[in-house]
Structure 1
Amino acid sequence: MIRLLALVFLLAVAIEARHEKYEGHHLYRIWGQSEQIGYLEAYLDLLSVTPAQRAESRKLEALVRLSPEERVEWLQYFDENQMGYKIISDNLAQILRAEESEVGRAKNLTNPNSTITWDTYYNTEAINKYIDEIGAKYPNLVTVINAGLSYEGRQIKYVRISTTRFENLRKPVIFIDSAVHAREWVTAPVALYLIQQLVEGADKELADRVDWIIIPMSNPDGYEYSINEDRMWRKTRSRSHEGADKCPGVDGNRNFDHHWGTRPGAADPCSIIYEGPSPFSEPEIRVIRDAVLSNLERTALSISLHSFGNMFLYAWGNNGSLPSNALYLNLAGVQMATAIDKLKLDKARNYTVGNAAKVLYYTSGTSRDWTRAVGIPLTYTMELPGYDYGFLVPPKYIEQIVTESWAGFVAGARFVLSRR
């Protein structure tokens, strides 16, 4: 009994210590012009951005984290630049502790007869175990690719789902990646649910008529660090760049070779959007690159899953100009969004579909723009719902999000098939 009490005490201390770095950090809702919010991205932790057409102020709104040291300086900046702001929470650490408690309770309810359920979150080991189990159970449909190692040596796996072993060159390919940003935990269950539905679901049409490549865990090092050390961690954990001792990691969604190096703020290793020392410097992002290029000629649709904001964003994010097939991109995006909105919770926003720079602000080095530039017709950043919780989506919402997202994937796949 004494040992058990000691263990409980040590666990409570560990939880407290893990979140203490965010003690007294405030969350603010701020609003301003697109260029103002875009400027802040390099210097502050923007947790979300709300498109102007949905914001009551008719300006972009953002949720931002301010440490006690930052608060005075940045509130003064907002005042001087005529930006509005409102406090949402005065202690992020308290929110993180509440989330950890709920995730812990959910794990206790997990079905012991299945390695994956839709009521909790799983670590990288459990995710990879599930991928291997699916591959072993359905060898004629699923091929598991051990694509490479992360910076810290974790295996990155993805699946190829095909009834014809990718040998029918007339079939379109759909590519999905998730968990590029470590703290966006809810993206991985969406990718895993997509795999399950394609392999074990009642509707076999999409597995039969489309070949799929799905990467459920793109950034295992950052994800594990987010679970065990810093819940708000976003980047990879690499230390190959100058300044890495102080500021490790690279923003994987700024590391693609499309207008890389064109935003000064992204060149700072301590920036949350640090682009890395060179394009594709991160082994995790090279896995995505190589998987895309492996079947580029047939790939018709690419979606990178992120959280949060209820959006389908398309190119070009670096300058706001539109691809030659912008109407096609918008039409497909609207069809996916409409399918999701039919199933969404009443309190959830409808999905916004549009050009990333026009809906939000300029970005460079993103997977969305790179995949479009190398020739994939339909490419999107899909921002999943956060409801009132942002990145910290409670486990009780996972099933809702994976289910409605599946409807969006179905609509996207059928759009692709209807155009062939």
Structure 2
Amino acid sequence: MTRLVICVLLCASAVLGGHEKYEGHQLYRVSGANADIAALEAHLDLLSMTPAARTTSGKLEAVVRLSPEEKAQWLSLFDSKSMTYTKIADNLADILREEEASIQMSRATVKRSGKSMSWDTYYRHDEINDYLDELAATYPELVTVINAGLSYEGRQIKYVRISTTRFENLRKPVIVIDAMVHAREWVTTPVAMYIINQLVVDIVDRSLTEYIDWIIIPLANPDGYEYSIDEDRMWRKTRSKNHEGADECPGVDGNRNFDHYWGTSPSSADPCSIIYEGPSAFSEPEIRIIRSAVLSNLERTALYISLHSYGNMFLYAWGNNATLPANGLILHLAGIRMATAIDELALDKADRYVVGNAAQVLYFTTGTSRDWTRAVGIPLTYTLELPGYEYNFLVPPSYVKQIVTETWAGIAEGAKYVLSTW
């Protein structure tokens, strides 16, 4: 009887969280030429990309969400373009309810355990900020919390600087990592927090803390993140309303808002598009905070990684065309080293990581942090797409520990590469 009551309460909470808006929404895996898949992104919610190198068809695949109202139209278009498709989920709302139930159970367990931070659940924005402050108070010689600014809705965005020399030794390389630019990619923040933990609390390789300065932004888009928890689990963008059409379609895709070929992609110009680039480059206060963090130590920043979910990929520049930066081979080799370290710890069922040029592996994109950071002079810059397994970016809490552990191995390998070449 108790179990039944718990189930009823959890399901009721999920409905209140807005999952009912996705009743009857189905997920399809669609396969086609890169350009055809790319053309869908301006109109549909593409939940994932699978590179052609990993598919049996030899073509790029995407998982798309179709509402009951638009299903017939889009399936007909797929047929007309000879794009093959397979239905993989009947009702997205049911999937979201199951996820929320598992998260509430995991949080109840963590609360009983008394831990201040666990790797088997998800935390709210205020909890993340409180933990960062706790670390700075406990390890003042190593951790500095930067109150970087406010989000559009007024939430404090904090990040940490980790340094044994308080960033005063200008001969040390800097590594910058950000997470949660896309609100629904919840697993990215635990990865960033675990990296902080491994550098500060459970130090396993002191050279990575001793000889490298770190800037880590664990929750770059708090407005979108909180909205994805309380209102719409599928929300991806910021929550700003500074653009024309914002009343109907608020928010900007933070990873299209950087000033690298911004404004050159018509598919990103529609405010109602999930990849809307914003009214101007760096229009979003959240993205300006990342810009400031990057530029604060640009001359000695050696590695930049933006954590995203999902797809098991290390993607490097350029995304706006299929050419490579002058250090393209080095980017590839360093990416391989990081990917190999992750793959060695991965679950047997996990896809192996793909490393490559973003435009060649997927399709053309503009305004990304990966390309902007490479353009302003950081030699090694990547978009790291974390694993999703069969859950896409709706990663259950039970998988968080595995993902944070294996990803740290890759980050540590990247840091060692930086030290060997600095």
Q: Give, in angstroms, the shift of residue 16 of structure 1.
A: 1.6
In 1, distance between residues paired with 2:304 and 2:12? 43
- Residue 157 (structure 1) aligns with: 158
Alignment of structure 1 residues 153-302 onto 2, 5 Å: 153-200=154-201, 201-302=203-304
Whole-Å separation in 2 of the counterparts to 1:55 and 1:41: 20
User: Do residues 96 (structure 1) and 118 (structure 2) align?
Assistant: no
Shift of the alpha carbon at 1:203? 2.1
Q: 5+ unaligned residues in a row in structure 1: which ranges?
A: none
Q: Report the counterpart of residue 33 of structure 1 in structure 2.
A: 33
Give the alignment's TM-score, normalised by structure 2.
0.97
Report if the CA contact (8 A) 2:11-2:101 is conserved: no
After TM superposition, the structure 1 = structure 2 runs for residues 132-147 of structure 1, keeping only pairs within 5 Å, are 132-147=133-148
| Structure 1 counterpart of 2:204, one-letter code | A
| CA drift at 1:70 | 1.1
User: Across the two proteins, how many residue pairs are aligned to each other?
Assistant: 415
Alpha-carbon shift at residue 108 of structure 1 (Å): 1.1
Asked if 1:313 corresponds to 2:315, the answer is yes
Q: How far off is 1:9 after superposition?
A: 6.8
CA deviation profile, 1:325-362 (whole Å, cap 9, x unmatched): 00000000000000000000000011000000000000
- In the TM superposition, what is the alpha-carbon distance from 1:15 to its structure 2 partner? 1.8
Structure 1 residues 220-251: Cα deviation after superposition (integer angstroms, max 9, x where no partner): 00000001100000000001110000000000
Q: Percent identity?
A: 69
| C-alpha RMSD of matched pairs (Å) | 1.2
Does structure 1 retain, via aligned residues, the 8 Å contact 2:253–2:275?
yes
1:56 matches 2:65: no
Q: Structure 1's 145 and 77: CA in aligned 2 closer, same or farther, altered over 3 A? A: same
Deviations 1:250-277 (A, max 9, x none): 0000000000011101000000000000
Question: What's the CA shift for 1:202?
Answer: 2.9
Q: Structure 2 stretches of 5 or more lacking a match?
A: none
User: What SS does the corresponding residue of 1:405 show, helix, strand or coil?
Assistant: helix
The alignment partner of 1:256 has SS state of coil
The Cα offsets for residues 298-348 of structure 1, whole Å up to 9 and x where unpaired, read as: 000000000000000000000111000000000000000000000000000
For the residues of structure 2 that align with 1:252 and 1:334, how far apart are their CA atoms? 27
Partner of 2:404: 402
The CA distance in 2 between the partners of 1:60 and 1:251, in whole Å, is: 22
Maintained 8 Å contact 1:115/1:126: no
Indicate the residue corresponding to 2:381 in structure 1: 379
Rounded Cα–Cα distance in structure 2 between residues aligned with 1:34 and 1:8: 43
Q: Quote how far apart the aligned CAs of 1:74 are.
A: 0.3
Aligned twin of 1:117? 118
Contact 2:10 2:101 in 1 (8 A): no
Letter of the aligned partner of 1:204 in structure 2? R
- AA matched with 1:90: D
CA apart distance, 1:10: 7.3
Moved over 3 A (4+): 7-14
